[in-house]
Structure 1
Amino acid sequence: MKLKGEYRPLAFPFSMIYLEKCEVRGAYTMAKSENQKVKTLFVAKYFLENSDENHPITAGDIVDYLREECGIEVERRAIYRDIAALRDVFKMDIDGVRGGKYRLLSRQFEFDDLRLLAECVHAAKFISASKAKELVKTISEFCSIYQAEELQKEVFLCDRVKTTRNNILLTVGIIYSAMATKQDGKPHTPQKITFKYLKYALQNKREQVERRKGATYKVSPYKLLINDGNYYLLAFDDRYQEIRRYRVDRMKEVKAIDEPREGAKVFAELDMESYTRRVFSMFGGKQKRVSIRFINQLLDTAIERFGTSPDVFYRQDDEKHFVVTADVEVSDQFFAWVCGFRKRAAIINPPDVVESMKKFLEDIETRYQDDEN
């Protein structure tokens, strides 16, 4: 996102701090003389709300707005002086066009940047639909009312189930506060947190229930990350004395407690890049060095999954196949991922992982055999 001009342009929320009370005629109680003092800001507000490169306005439009909405009587020539001041002093990118019309060509944020932000908000699984609308409405304050209409059109998301919980961002804030090394400008010792962890039950698929019969989890939080649209917490688990992963939208009653964080040495030894790459869909298993044979057409898929870091090795196997060797966490989820390629991919090394894959397939075959067999 780029800023325009030598100075930061006047932003819509900035003008709203001063001018929000003039939305309804008569609600703004400032005396007329005091209104006149901030007239230029009212003009800026009108530009920010009602003009963009596709929607020009006139000095007459501004005169009507000041009279009807803000109780300010003004002549057009005063508006021309205000526009000149907004250009010269505040560096607002106002362009004059034929017919005495003006356009605000650019502002603090490019519209494409705001649209990208809005789409990211809609795409995030951890943000509920109602919260997403609220956040996009906030983002819309940085563009014109016409552009805001475009931003607030919901993006169509394929196969995307969003959380129904509305307090995710509050939970994230509590976790960040607990992990902070400074608070209010003073040193802060990172704290442990406690929470209840949720899961779905067949009895009521709309409401999640507490795991471990409502037992309280106590962990030392270290890192928040996003995977496939979901927020996860990496934390040192007091009970198991290891780094574990937790879905933030499944955590409730999150509280920071007056106990210093543990597990710093274990977390410091964690290579985040390789760790997140080898943990498929956030399901863990025993780490192994594995070689997989793919058809050539799956090279893009393999690179997107394993990356191109020095510890990942690619080689041509024959004219139609290549082999990738990488560290993965071997689990049923990993085997299922390989199965998804059917005959186009196969684990070829090490032998024990190959045998585990065969056993995985045999178990599946057994599950689908007729009862008499």
Structure 2
Amino acid sequence: MAKTNHQKEKLLVLLEILRTESDETHPLVVPRLIEKLQARGIAAERKSIYDDLDTLRRKGYDIVLHRGKGYYLGEREFQLAELKLLVDAVQSSRFITAKKSNELIEKLERQTSIYGAQTLQRQVFVAGRVKSMNESVYYNIDAIHKAIGENRQITFRYFDYDQNLKKVFRHNGKRYRVSPYALLRSDENYYLTAYDSRAEQIKHYRVDKMVEISVTDRRRDGAEAYQSFDLGEYARIHFGMFKGEEREVLLRCDNRFSHVIVDRFGESVHMVPEDDSHFTASVRVAVSPQFYGWVFGLGGGVTILSPTDVAQGMKDQLELVLRNYTVIM
């Protein structure tokens, strides 16, 4: 049989056909493989196909023969169940924009057959979810990892959105300079924890609100401060990653909220039975409106006992909310 200009690509094309057009439920017989090669301008004979399949096996590819039905590529870098988990993670990640989510899902679909990709597509529901509006967040994370790996400081600008969804830069648009140490995911957002040399303390910043990140030539500061820094504890203390004064707070809780306390503060939280229906929990929190909102959200099942000023702060928050609704009524 005359050879075409594409013959040198034959083995690679055959592998691509098996990767994209075959799986356990869609094996391909040899005549069908020959047809698909010919459609791509590559001549092939039955015997050469068998030789090529053996070559792929020797190179470590899991070429499986389903007797009477044909061949398919079995073990892959990602199994379909793993791809479904990755797709779900991309979909549910609030910090990834809808556009970037769709791009990543399309890349994941190329890791399986066209038939497997169809099952992935059936579970794709990116549209309508609350997603970040900052397309650069994907690259921000990469830049931060680069700076951490090279032990370098970074500079960036930091913004909020106003009521018209326009960016309003903090510090009048001046650039921040910090020493990055870790990325933390909390409440569906990514945060950078970094050492601020001017303030001489560790702070956090929402990655999707950072723009124009630049890796500098300066080496990082704050190594000693970060050695004693517990990232997990920091995340537990700061509700919604909002800042506030860190305090030891005593809570009185209904027994039915024991799992809520453990989920929020971890298994090391100090809990003491008070009576048959209640227990007290001593926790360390950053006192903020978000902390008060968490307590309120438990519907009276959790009460702040001490310190007195923190309990009073809860009362003040409730009265403020009540006044707002009194005006409406």
Query: What TM-score comes out, normalization by structure 2 length?
Result: 0.90
Q: Tell me the residue number matched to 1:288.
A: 247
Quick one: distance in 2 between partners of 1:268 and 1:222?
A: 10
Q: Tell me the residue number matched to 1:124.
A: 93
Runs of at least 5 residues in structure 1 that lack an aligned partner in the other structure: 1-30, 182-189
1:307–1:159 Cα change, 3 Å: farther
Q: 2:107 aligns with which of 138, 141, 148?
A: 138
Quick one: distance in 1 between partners of 2:202 and 2:240?
A: 16
- Mapping of 1:261-272 within 5 angstroms? 261-272=220-231
1:127–1:106 Cα change, 3 Å: same
Runs of at least 5 residues in structure 2 that lack an aligned partner in the other structure: none
1:50–1:159 Cα change, 3 Å: closer
Quick one: distance in 2 between partners of 1:193 and 1:74?
A: 57
Q: 2:201 aligns with which of 242, 267, 284?
A: 242
Q: Secondary structure at the match of 2:283?
A: strand
**Is residue 2:55 matched to residue 1:82?**
no
Note the aligned Cα RMSD (angstroms).
2.4
Quick one: distance in 1 between partners of 2:17 and 2:127?
A: 38
1:129–1:276 Cα change, 3 Å: same
Q: Secondary structure at the match of 1:284?
A: coil
Report if the CA contact (8 A) 1:133-1:152 is conserved: no
- Mapping of 1:304-343 within 5 angstroms? 304-309=263-268, 312-343=269-300
Q: 1:200 aligns with which of 137, 146, 161?
A: 161
Q: Tell me the residue number matched to 1:110.
A: 79
Q: Secondary structure at the match of 2:300?
A: helix
Q: Tell me the residue number matched to 2:26.
A: 55
Q: Secondary structure at the match of 1:355?
A: helix
Letter in 1 for 2:297: G
Q: Tell me the residue number matched to 1:345.
A: 302
Tell me the matched-pair count: 327
Quick one: distance in 2 between partners of 1:32 and 1:276?
A: 64
Report if the CA contact (8 A) 2:147-2:154 is conserved: yes
Moved over 6 A (4+): none
Quick one: distance in 2 between partners of 1:270 and 1:249?
A: 23
Q: Tell me the residue number matched to 2:37.
A: 66
Quick one: distance in 2 between partners of 1:254 and 1:53?
A: 46
Letter in 2 for 1:117: L
Query: What TM-score comes out, normalization by structure 1 length?
Result: 0.80
Report if the CA contact (8 A) 1:95-1:105 is conserved: no
Shift of 1:154: 5.4
1:279–1:157 Cα change, 3 Å: farther
Quick one: distance in 2 between partners of 1:293 and 1:224?
A: 33
Q: Tell me the residue number matched to 1:273.
A: 232
